[in-house]
Chains A and B, each alone.
Chain A
Amino acid sequence: MEELFTQSVKDLGSMYHFSRDELEILDDADKAAEELSKSEFEHYIKREVNPDHKKVLTKHGIIGASVDKRYGGRGANPLVSVLVKERLGQLGMGLSSFINVQMFLGEMMIQRWGTDDQKERYLRPAVRGEKIFAYGLTELEAGSDPSEMQTTYEKRGSRYILNGSKYLITNGSIADNLIIFARSKDNRDEKSAFIVDSKSSGFSIPMRMEEKIGLFTSDTAMPQMDGVEVDEADVFGGIGNGMHVAYSGLMNGRMGVASASIGVIEACLNAVVERAKERIQHGKEIGKHQLIQNHIAEIRQNLEMARWPVYFAAIRKAEYEADPSNESLINELDLRISLAKKIASRLAFESADRAVQVFGGFGYSILSPVGRLFCDSRVARIYEGTDEIQSLKIAEGVLGKDFKAFR
């Protein structure tokens, strides 16, 4: 297994007993990352979506690793899921975005909120790599405040009719099914979620966002719904329960971003160590220059500072999943996840910035591993809740609910 990832497993192993099955999942994540590394690079520099994500992650049993064994998954708990994401994050945030949405915002949400019928129709096929998911919450005018969404639904007989468009949706144009959030046409305070088939009449992708500054191997699209019909059986999480569902999804998503950010820092560290030992300037390896050593030391510190809040949040998440009605646990988890996401994503970007500096001119190219990590990691401070939203949530966690900055 990759060295820094092995170290993470070893460090956690001193306080958590990994079962044989769990170690197998981690080994498979390592194999999947290894197998994807070349194609991820090739597609990145061509600035195109990597079609191998689904195939390779399915082959190694990673695409549904977190799903309960009852539905064909491997039952990876939050800590093991975080480690899987950490290893995949070493390849950059493109692969990470794909799996984050597929696993944490798709599969895990269906497992949490789906009906038995939905689990049969969507979850089991997803574990087999037969269904790709997207999470349609964000809109042009509803980013940090998703409750301002303009997409509407209205009931006609046993069906719901959806109209509106979603914005910057990961996997948006490659998804078989999208979890779409909308407000009632009759009551703007009533929000609900629906599982929408991308082959439905009235569903279209008028634009794919290809002009990003990174994340090239991940699909980003703006799905549009013009009178899309959804059967009652595909109401997701219950009518009127949309925001509750949405926010629980964001917690999953934030954990995923935080985990991948650890992987980004590890990849930065690997790249600068290799570079520092090979590149010679002023008659010696640049790793022998003290200012380069400072960058390496800072990146190593960042790794240490990033990973423990994420692991700790994962441990709390496992406790919460075992006791979901525990109100104080959910509040603490919310705080822990925001801390993990904000700390890890900022440190990932800072590490990538330092790594570019160590590489010098070549670092300012997406041909270099650090150039790609730099471009990719910036988004980690934005998607699934900006730094600013995380700060507000952290302050609320410290001050109490009465001090909530937004409603």
Chain B
Amino acid sequence: MRVSFSGKEHINANITDSENFFSDTEMVSKCIPDSRDFSKIGDNEFSIAVEVGIGNLRGTFLIHGVFEKEGNGLIKYLLTGGGFGNKVSIQLVVRMDGDAAATNLSWNADFDVSGIISGLGQGIVRGVSEEKISEIISNIKAVLEKNKQG
């Protein structure tokens, strides 16, 4: 099952700080709710365990992530993995522009899910995925804006 969605966010943080933040997989991983066991594999690769679930259907996804910085404020994350009878592949594309005062962020996420979770139906999967991505983005925004104040 493929689910795609996108969003925009205005962050009160310097564009350079924002780009640096998104390029630091460890920093980004800390913004993923219910995650643990982050491990850096190389400059652009990492692994992480993320607990996901809906209601009492819960389990842990072991995710392998690859990050690419393409310049001009364009960053891509390719996350693949799975757990408890599911496979997932997520491509997250983040575009940033801005100046010393603020960053305008736009993002696009493509989820490809198979297994039990895909059987729940597109409406449910979309809702949960969207919620998770929004949570990650708002956590990142909060950290960046706090760093700016600090």
Contact = CB atoms under 8 A, between A and B. Distances in A.
Are these two chains actual partners, yes or no?
yes
B55 A369 contact: no
Interface of B: 1, 54-57, 116, 118-124, 127-128
A270 B128 CA distance: 19
Contacts of B127: 37-38
B119 A367 contact: yes
Contacts of A270: 121
Interface string A355-376: 0000100100001110000000
Contact of A359 (B55, B119, B122, B128): B119
SS class of chain A's interface: helix, strand, loop or mixed? helix
Contact of A42 (B55, B116, B119, B122): B55
B120 A43 contact: no
A121 interface: no
Contact of A367 (B1, B57, B123, B128): B57
Closest 10 CB pairs of A and B: A42-B55, A38-B127, A369-B121, A362-B119, A45-B55, A37-B123, A368-B119, A41-B124, A46-B56, A46-B55
A231 to B, nearest CB: 43
Interface string A23-48: 00000000000000110011111100
A278 B118 contact: yes
Nearest to A35: B127
Contacts of A11: none
Contacts of A46: 55-56
Given A37-B127, A38-B127, A45 B56 contact: yes
Interface of A: 37-38, 41-46, 270-271, 274-275, 278, 359, 362, 367-369
Given A37-B124, A37-B127, A38-B127, A43 B119 contact: no
A359 B116 CA distance: 12
Contacts of B55: 41-46
Nearest to A362: B119
Nearest to B117: A367
Contacts of A44: 55
B51 to A, nearest CB: 16
The residue in A43, A44, A271, A359 that gathers the most chain B C-beta atoms within 10 A of its C-beta is A271
A37 B122 CA distance: 11
Contacts of B116: 362, 367
B129 to A, nearest CB: 11
A369 B120 contact: yes
Nearest to A91: B123
Given A38-B128, A362-B116, A367-B116, A274 B57 contact: no
Nearest to A43: B55
Contacts of A367: 57, 116, 119-120
A37 B120 CA distance: 11
Contacts of B121: 270-271, 274, 368-369
Nearest to A275: B119
A283 to B, nearest CB: 16
Contact of B57 (A45, A278, A362, A369): A45
Contacts of B122: 274
The residue in B57, B123, B124, B127 that gathers the most chain A C-beta atoms within 10 A of its C-beta is B123
Given A359-B119, A367-B120, A368-B119, 5 more contacts: A37-B127, A41-B54, A45-B55, A271-B121, A278-B118
